[in-house]
Amino acid sequence: MSLRDRYLYGGGLWHLPRLALLPLSLLYPLIGAWRYRLATPRRFPFFTISLGNLVAGGTGKTPLTIVLARLLTEHGLKVGILSRGYGGSYREPYLVVTESTPWRECGDEPLLMARRTAAQVVVSRQRIPGALYLQQQGVDVVLLDDAFSNHKLVKDFEILLLDHRRPLGNGLPIPSGLLREFPSAIARADLVIRTRVEEHFAGDAPAAHYAMSCSADRAFPISAYSALGNNRAFFEGLQQMGYRLERTLALPDHGVPTDDQLEALSAGGHPLVTSEKDHLKLSTHWQPRVMPVGLALKLLNTDAPLENLLQRIKRHQER
């Protein structure tokens, strides 16, 4: 168990730091609720779909955004994706992201979405400038990345992702836990999708199963690193595929390994793998030496909700 997991879920003395920060933790979601009530979101002519989570950390928003963007494009809609571009160095009010945009400018996730979809991807820290640009482009639908707790724009449809294994983290708000808001905020969502369910998920709730694929031969052990919101899920996924992890390196979300760290990981002579998002941040020296792990998303029990979404978009266009 990592130090982070010990702090969040450990027993015994690990209760003490969580309890010490509990007064501050109760303040965090109260501020969020206050901001929600006072917000005056701006409406745009395009249909907006918010994708977000209730807890800090990775729940699979980017893969779902990619799948949804492709689905909407297949239905003849002109799609835009609006992200804050976390970690990007851009200083403009907004930045249009293309397949060749340096990831350090726009952030790793927007670049991945630009490469994997036909959508117009824009990063904008304040969101409104980016939304104005997308309006000028005549988009029909805009996917608002990580926007469940952001209220700058009117959201016509809200999708909330909850990790099936730990939907509320340890049940405590930040910084004692991972909750950004109180669980009552779930009621705002039009569609709740449980992510990281098993392939043969038993139940009728909307869910998403993530299947990983890698070109490394499963007969050999591998070394792996990732800089995701949930590194543990990445490593567990590799093990479930049948790989034996000889060495691993877990970095903070959006982090980049040093050359020394990569050399140490590959010193054993085993194939070195990482996530697709992390692979695009590697230098040209390292990219051929590291194999990316692809991620395929399979949606379960979502036919009716997605059909409802498409009908709502159609009604919006007919106004």
Q: The dihedral of CA 107, 113, 116, 120: what is its sign? A: negative
List phi, psi (to 5°) of 303. -60, -50
Task: Give residue-wise pLDDT tens across range 46-75.
Answer: 999 999 999 987 788 999 999 999 999 999
Say yes or no to pLDDT of 208 above 80: yes
Q: How far apart are the first and last CA of the chain?
A: 53
5-19, 74-88, 185-199: the lowest-pLDDT one: 5-19
Of the candidates 224, 233, 105, 104, the one whose C-alpha atom is nearest the C-alpha of residue 161 is: 233
The owner of tokens 């036909």 is 118
> How many other CB atoms sit within 10 Å of the CB of residue 313?
20
Q: Which residue type, as a one-letter code, is found at position 175? A: P
Percent of the chain residues past pLDDT 90, beyond the cut: 72
User: In terms of DSSP bridges, do strands 207-213 and 290-300 run parallel, antiparallel, or are they unpaired?
Assistant: antiparallel
Of the candidates 256, 260, 259, 248, the one whose C-alpha atom is nearest the C-alpha of residue 281 is: 256
Residue 1's pLDDT band (boundaries 50, 70, 90)? low
Of the candidates 206, 237, 213, the one whose C-alpha atom is nearest the C-alpha of residue 300 is: 206
Q: How far apart are CA 215 and CA 217, in angstroms?
A: 6
Annotated binding site for ATP: 55-62
Mean pLDDT of the chain: 92
Query: Apex CA 218: angle with CA 217 and CA 220, to 5°?
Result: 80
Q: What is the pTM of this model?
A: 0.92
Task: Give residue-wise pLDDT tens across range 4-55.
Answer: 888 888 888 888 889 899 999 988 888 888 888 888 999 999 999 999 999 9
Of the candidates 4, 21, 52, 9, the one whose C-alpha atom is nearest the C-alpha of residue 252 is: 4
Cβ neighbors of 31 (< 8 A, separation 6 or more) are: none
Cβ neighbors of 315 (< 8 A, separation 6 or more) are: none
List phi, psi (to 5°) of 144. -95, 105
User: Which of residues 134 and 239 earns the better pLDDT score?
Assistant: 134
Say yes or no to pLDDT of 224 above 90: yes
Of the candidates 284, 49, 72, the one whose C-alpha atom is nearest the C-alpha of residue 153 is: 49
Residue 213's pLDDT band (boundaries 50, 70, 90)? confident
Say yes or no to pLDDT of 268 above 90: no
Annotated binding site: 55-62
Residue 261's pLDDT band (boundaries 50, 70, 90)? very high
Task: Give residue-wise pLDDT tens across range 122-165.
Answer: 999 999 999 999 999 999 999 999 999 999 999 999 999 999 98
